[in-house]
Amino acid sequence: MKMNRKTLVNYILIIVGLLMFSAYIWLRFIRLRLPRDIPFNLSILGLIILIEICTIYGYILFALLRKDKEPNPIVVYIIDQVYKPLIAFDNFIKDFPSIQSIYPRFMVFVAYKLNFAIKDTSIFYVIFYIFPRLVLVTALMIDTFYFHQLYYLYKVLLIGILLFLHRYIIYSFKHTKELLIVQKEPYMTNISMEYIPGVIESDEDDEDDDDIPPTMSIPLRKFIELQTKAIVDEDKQYDYMIYHTQKYWEEVRILYKLGLKDDVPMSIVRLAINKEKLQIDHPKNLIQISVMLEYYNMTVENKRYKNLKKLITLNYLLSWSYILIMSGTMELTMKLIEVLSIYNNIENPFIN
């Protein structure tokens, strides 16, 4: 059987993603690290890596200092391409039947369990992002400016697993949200809810009848966006009604062993709404995940935490820049001494 190009590329991405993930785990948490004196004895590769580290932190600080500006599309594209193999590897793992069947339910369970830590407080963000960053940057600064030796930083590197979990949990919420939307959309045509000016054009006939509140029919994705905004910004929820597709009613007939042409009795309709196997059409859990993500984004954009992130990033930049300057200066001095020694060893042809 021939393998098409798209499948081949996907398998290559999966393998590269596995290698990237393995290298990250080994380099960050497993590899034995011995104390390293500052300034470093740099190779060309080491110099390039230090310049790259300083450039990354410099750009992050620059991006944090900009006010109300969209991310650079070129940088976003580069980041997307870097993470593409890791995402392919993650999707490959999640597509195993044993994982695929429990993954969405598990993430919904996590979303409800983290309700207090994300929605009601900022505990999740503080524990999984701010705290490990503070520990790591403090150790780096003590090592750099006091001991002139990377030692304590290596001792606390394991705390970086919290940063990994932070990124992966948020990514998994976003992935699950998209996955549930894609799963549910085939089972509903639209969702009817209270009319909101500016979302769609209202029906003129409804607007002329004062006894009938105006409504609108919108796709699931738009409804989730509006319902999330209402919960977060106004602490309310819109009433809604789902218009099911033919595929949904086929599932109901199969579940209750009805003929394809039989009408579905109202008693079965009520049962189907609460039937676990047919919760594929119910947006409640999807809304929960969407709300968690929105509250998380609000925490990230909080001025206090943004200022703390700027301070942390600045300290990272100062520390690595100092290491780069000191190591680069030493390397340049050693090269200059080497050149001068060679020059001094050359015999003067004009002296007998």
pLDDT at residue number 146: 93
268 within domain boundaries:
yes
The region of weakest confidence among 7-16, 98-107, 167-176, 248-257 is 248-257
315 within domain boundaries:
no
Domain that holds residue 216: 185-286
Domain end: 232, 255, 286, which one?
Answer: 286
- pTM score: 0.83
Average pLDDT rounded to a whole number, residues 55-60: 93
Count of domains observed in the chain: 2
Confidence label for 251 from pLDDT (cuts 50, 70 and 90)? confident
Domain end: 240, 256, 286, which one?
Answer: 286
246 within domain boundaries:
yes
259 within domain boundaries:
yes
59 within domain boundaries:
no
Distances (CA, A) of 301 to 68, 151, 169: 11, 34, 18
Is the pLDDT at 74 greater than 50, yes or no?
Answer: yes
Compute the distance between CA of residue 245 and CA of residue 266 in angstroms, rounded to an integer: 17
43 within domain boundaries:
no
Backbone angles phi, psi at 323, to 5 degrees: -60, -40
Residue range 191-226, pLDDT digits in tens: 888 888 878 765 544 445 555 668 888 999 999 999
Compute the distance between CA of residue 63 and CA of residue 72 in angstroms, rounded to an integer: 9
How many helices, marked H, and strands, marked E, lie in the chain? 15, 5
251 within domain boundaries:
yes
